[in-house]
Chains A and B, each alone.
Chain A
Amino acid sequence: MAPKKTRTGPRNPDLVPGIKKFSRSKMYHKRGLWAIKAKHGGKFPSHEAKPAAQPDVAAPEKAPKFYPADDVKKTRAKPKKNNPTKLRASITPGTVLILLAGRFMGKRVVFLNQLPSGLLLVTGPFKVNGVPVKRVNQAYVIATSTKVDISSVDVSKFDDKYFTKEKTKKAKKTEGEFFKSDEEEKSVLPQYKKDDQKAVDTALLKAIEAVPDLKTYLSARFSLRDGMKPHQLVF
């Protein structure tokens, strides 16, 4: 074998800047690609595909080829979360609340649970002060420091759907029926709701009667009197 000659210049010199001496096919031969191919059974030796390269932090982004005429905002999909209203620290399950508005204003009721809609689930208990299991907004309630033990009460069956109005089917009225009074339209409280009320209250009443005076406290209503300044009261 002839001694290996170190190459002196480029294989394909420039005749004139931009024009090389040898054509593509000539260069193929000169580079010896035919020999490499022959050595490897007719194919180029190839590397396995590299794992997807991490974008170089240092590599600068190439300028895009096209700029839109107007600025287009990138819309991002925002995952919408509906969280219930943040519960005040003073309101914990078993707290006695004072209702500030509505039919039962001034009544002291027991807080059971916050529903997923954010409203507070509350009960009188019904036997004590006539307040049924109902929902109340946090803003219309004053939390007192009195607490009742409700560990024995099960409130899992109450949710927002329980309290929605039932859709009454409107049957088309004939002329005769039109003049009838809507006696049949009166809504009667379904028995299951009465049973649910009893179930919650019996457990709760035991806890209430264990505390002296709590029952009379819950049956009494709150009212402002002369000389009472709410901003100075401690509830």
Chain B
Amino acid sequence: MVKGRQGQRVRLYVRGSILGYKRSKSNQYENTSLVQIEGVSTKEEVAWYCGKRIAYIYKAKSSSKGTSFRVIWGKVTRPHGNSGVVRAKFKSNLPPESMGSKVRVCMFPSNI
């Protein structure tokens, strides 16, 4: 999180939730997670988000570098199916605890 931001809090990311890993009925591939981005409901809408960076933010008991918040960075790779779900790859695979939790889909790298 931002260090001691007193002023306005601005949201420059889109909320998303982690649905789970890419999987078939009995096999799962943890290197790719599935993310549902708020407000995105079709495959065509996902095109804007492809390549955008994603941050999975979680808290740890010990604080490193002055904060107990930690991040795993990743990016949107491609749409998953027809209904706006997105595949994402992270720097290191997301832990299974992340399923169902929130994720921040940033607006950079921007192309507007």
User: Which residues on A are within 8 Å of B, measured CB to CB?
Assistant: 88, 90, 100-101, 105-106, 139-143, 221-225, 227, 229-232, 235
Nearest-neighbour CB distance to chain A for B6, whole angstroms, equals 13
In the complex, which residues of chain B have a beta carbon less than 8 angstroms from the beta carbon of A229? 14, 39-40, 45
A231/B48 in contact, CB under 8 A = yes
| Known contacts A101-B108, A139-B110, A223-B8; 13 further A-B pairs (Cβ under 8 A) | A106-B12, A139-B109, A140-B110, A141-B110, A142-B110, A143-B112, A223-B9, A224-B10, A224-B13, A225-B11, A230-B107, A231-B45, A231-B47
A100/B106 in contact, CB under 8 A = yes
A223/B10 in contact, CB under 8 A = yes
Chain A at the B interface: SS class: loop
In the complex, which residues of chain B have a beta carbon less than 8 angstroms from the beta carbon of A139? 108-110
Contact of A142 among B11, B47, B112 (CB under 8 A): B112
A235/B112 in contact, CB under 8 A = yes
Nearest-neighbour CB distance to chain B for A84, whole angstroms, equals 17
A100/B40 in contact, CB under 8 A = no
Number of A-B contacts (CB under 8 A): 58
A88-B111 contact given A231-B40, A231-B45, A231-B48, CB 8 Å threshold: yes
B11/A223 in contact, CB under 8 A = yes
Number of interface residues of B (CB under 8 A): 20
B108/A140 in contact, CB under 8 A = yes
A142 to B111, CA, bound (A): 7
In the complex, which residues of chain A have a beta carbon less than 8 angstroms from the beta carbon of B106? 100-101
A227 to B38, CA, bound (A): 9
Nearest-neighbour CB distance to chain B for A180, whole angstroms, equals 24
In the complex, which residues of chain A have a beta carbon less than 8 angstroms from the beta carbon of B21? none
**Interface check B90, CB cutoff 8 A:** no
A106 to B71, CA, bound (A): 21
> For B8, B9, B11, B107, which residue has the most chain A Cβ atoms within 10 angstroms?
B107
In the complex, which residues of chain A have a beta carbon less than 8 angstroms from the beta carbon of B8? 106, 221, 223
B110/A231 in contact, CB under 8 A = no
0/1 interface trace, chain B 66-110, chain A, CB 8 Å (1 if under): 000000000000000000000000000000000000000011111
A230 to B48, CA, bound (A): 8
> For A143, A224, A227, A232, which residue has the most chain B Cβ atoms within 10 angstroms?
A224
In the complex, which residues of chain A have a beta carbon less than 8 angstroms from the beta carbon of B9? 223
In the complex, which residues of chain A have a beta carbon less than 8 angstroms from the beta carbon of B45? 229, 231-232
Nearest-neighbour CB distance to chain B for A62, whole angstroms, equals 55
Q: Shortest 10 CB-CB distances between A and B: which pairs?
A: A231-B48, A139-B109, A106-B10, A223-B10, A229-B39, A100-B108, A224-B11, A142-B112, A140-B108, A221-B10
A143 to B39, CA, bound (A): 22
Nearest-neighbour CB distance to chain B for A149, whole angstroms, equals 22
A222 to B9, CA, bound (A): 10
Query: Could you name 6 residue pairs across A and B whose Cβ atoms are closer than 8 Å?
Result: A88-B111, A101-B108, A106-B12, A222-B10, A230-B107, A231-B45
Nearest-neighbour CB distance to chain B for A234, whole angstroms, equals 9
**Interface check B49, CB cutoff 8 A:** yes
